[in-house]
Chains A and B, each alone.
Chain A
Amino acid sequence: MASNRTKLNYLSKLPNRGRETLGISTRAREMALKTALGLMLILALAFIALPVASLFLKSPLDATIRSMQDPVVIDALRLSLVTSTLTILVVVLMGTPIAYVNARFQYPGKEIADSLIDLPVIMPPAVAGIALLMAFGRMGILGHYLNAFGFSVAFTTLAVVMAQVFVSSPFFIRQAKTSFEDVDMAFENAARTLGASRFYTFFHVILPMALNGLVSGAIMAFARSLGEFGATIMFAGNFEGRTQTMPLAIYTAMQGDLDVSLCLAMILVAISFLVIALVKMLTRRVHKNAGS
């Protein structure tokens, strides 16, 4: 209060020109700050948008349409969609109970289990590929025994799915765990006192309440498995129609037919946009439900 009064006294003593100068300099500083922030934002957006836009701008339409019918593109697209769908089925079926247990219960070694689940997120994909090879490859710790029974995992379509499950499962499990944690224990307790078993409570109360978060996690995991490259090429190899998924086909086509490469890249960008839109829509619904 006192300082405001001092400031007012000071302003009243300033000549008219001095007061105008003070106002203009404050406004100019604000303008400069806003301009600098605006420029930074435009630069950051351009850095992301330019390469994506270049993909579309550098692909002639007729060549793209022609490439769509290329067997390499069709095989890669089919294989990617099939393996990613299988991956999501495995991740959801395996990850949902794990996420629920980690969200609700305490058990010895829970911290270690949590860290282990998150490990593939920070592990370089190529390292994940070698690790899978060392475990399930022909000479691997488990693969050695599987091979003795005439069952080979590495360099098959199954290996593609395994590599995708390995790298994408943390994306689902982490999101699912958060969604289960967000369901207040009071709902679970209320259901139990109303005669519902744990099983009935899970399927009729907890799962519907956590569903949006679970779907959002599954979409993120699907997108991650669709873009998987490093672990797949190390563990499953790069065989057209069998293990050559879209990212691998882009890499291979780059050395010969750029049009095929660009066509596949555009399909992946389109899927990425769709994934972002779906996740945003679901996240908004989750927030709306939580808010109400």
Chain B
Amino acid sequence: MLEVDIKKRLRDFHLEVKLGVAEGEILMLVGDNGCGKTTLLNLVAGLQTPDKGRIALDGRPLFDSSLKVNVAPETRNIGYVFQSYALFPHMSVFDNVAFGLCTRKLSRKEIDYRVKDRLEAAGLWEIRNAKAVNISGGQKQRVALARALIIEPGLLLLDEPLSALDVRAQAAMRRNLRETIHACNVPSIIVTHDLRDVACIGDRACLLERGLIVLSGGADEVMSWGAGPLSSEIGRVPKSSSG
């Protein structure tokens, strides 16, 4: 269970968020550009520091301003898929996925076994020796997800994981992404612009506006937010959309 109750002063507004994500639940975070979605992910991951508040994962405080606790990002055990995927270009697909295990100083045999297992499950074994810069957008997305999941994270953060894919690849990836994340049974937060992602992947959704959660509900309720600020977005969702 992830519990977040934090405040941070940003350039144009204050980010003030209180939310909880249960085990195995996928929370979709939607909102306009610059409303603080990626900043919120970075704060949870420990890449930025809140001004005050508390972040706890399974009861373990990751950040607590009153107790002066601020766990370093490398020891938070959070899987993070970046918007650009951030695959290390000088490494092969295999080495990218193995990176998180190498930092944990596992034996070579154990690393090889676990990476092979993960790559085969993701259908990436055939391209294990390819440089990360030379693979397609869909493959990059799967490698980034495999790299985040292999460390067996306690929490999964995904920043617009489908935005770099073309429309056809997005539709195929949505179902795949939901199944893969649900199989891990960890709390997950996915940032997206696309309401089709919310409807097809998420269990619950929050609308962030200038640093505040203004709407929250089940992912299937998103369509009923039409009267609100997302009406223009909802207008874009095709009725037949099924992911």
Contact = CB atoms under 8 A, between A and B. Distances in A.
B74 interface: yes
Contact of A190 (B72, B77, B86, B133): B86
A145 interface: no
Contact of A191 (B42, B46, B99): B99
A189 B82 contact: yes
A49 interface: no
B199 interface: no
A193 B80 contact: yes
Contacts of A187: 86, 88
Contacts of A205: 88
B47 A209 contact: no
B74 A196 contact: yes
Count chain B CB atoms within 10 A of each CB in A189, A209, A292 and give the residue with the most.
A189
Count chain B CB atoms within 10 A of each CB in A193, A196, A205 and give the residue with the most.
A193
B74 A193 contact: yes
Contacts of A44: none
Nearest to A209: B90
Interface in A162-195: 184, 186-187, 189-195
If over half of A's interface residues share one DSSP class (helix, strand or loop), that class is named, otherwise mixed; here it is helix
Interface string B67-81: 000001111111110
A196 B99 contact: yes
Contacts of B133: 289, 292
Contacts of A186: 82-84, 86
Interface residues of A, number: 19
Contacts of B104: 195
A208 B90 CA distance: 7
Count chain B CB atoms within 10 A of each CB in A190, A289, A292 and give the residue with the most.
A190
Interface string A242-271: 000000000000000000000000000000
A175 to B, nearest CB: 19
A207 to B, nearest CB: 10
Given A195-B103, A196-B103, A292-B133, A189 B147 contact: no
Contacts of A151: none
Contacts of A208: 90
Interface in B146-189: 147-148, 151
Contact of B78 (A184, A193, A204, A292): A193
B61 to A, nearest CB: 18
A289 B79 CA distance: 27
A58 to B, nearest CB: 48
Contacts of B89: 209, 289, 292
Contacts of B72: 192
B6 interface: no
Count chain B CB atoms within 10 A of each CB in A186, A190, A194, A204 and give the residue with the most.
A194
Contact of B79 (A193, A196, A197): A193
A209 B87 CA distance: 12
Contacts of B77: 195
Given A190-B82, A292-B134, A195 B100 contact: yes
Interface in A189-238: 189-197, 200, 204-205, 208-209
A190 B47 CA distance: 10
Contact of B100 (A194, A197, A209, A292): A194
A196 B46 CA distance: 13
Nearest to A195: B103
A292 B134 CA distance: 7
A199 to B, nearest CB: 10
Contacts of A200: 103
Nearest to B147: A194
A234 B42 CA distance: 54
Count chain A CB atoms within 10 A of each CB in B73, B77, B84, B134 and give the residue with the most.
B73
B30 interface: no
B45 interface: yes
A200 B101 CA distance: 13
A287 to B, nearest CB: 13
Contacts of B73: 189, 192-193
Q: Can you list the 7 inter-chain pairs with the closest CB atoms, starting with the nearest?
A: A195-B103, A194-B100, A190-B86, A186-B86, A193-B80, A192-B73, A196-B103
Interface of A: 184, 186-187, 189-197, 200, 204-205, 208-209, 289, 292
Given A193-B74, A194-B99, A289-B89, 15 more contacts: A189-B42, A189-B80, A190-B86, A190-B88, A192-B46, A193-B45, A193-B80, A193-B148, A194-B74, A194-B103, A195-B74, A195-B75, A196-B103, A209-B88, A289-B133
6 contacts: A186-B86, A191-B88, A192-B46, A193-B47, A194-B99, A205-B88
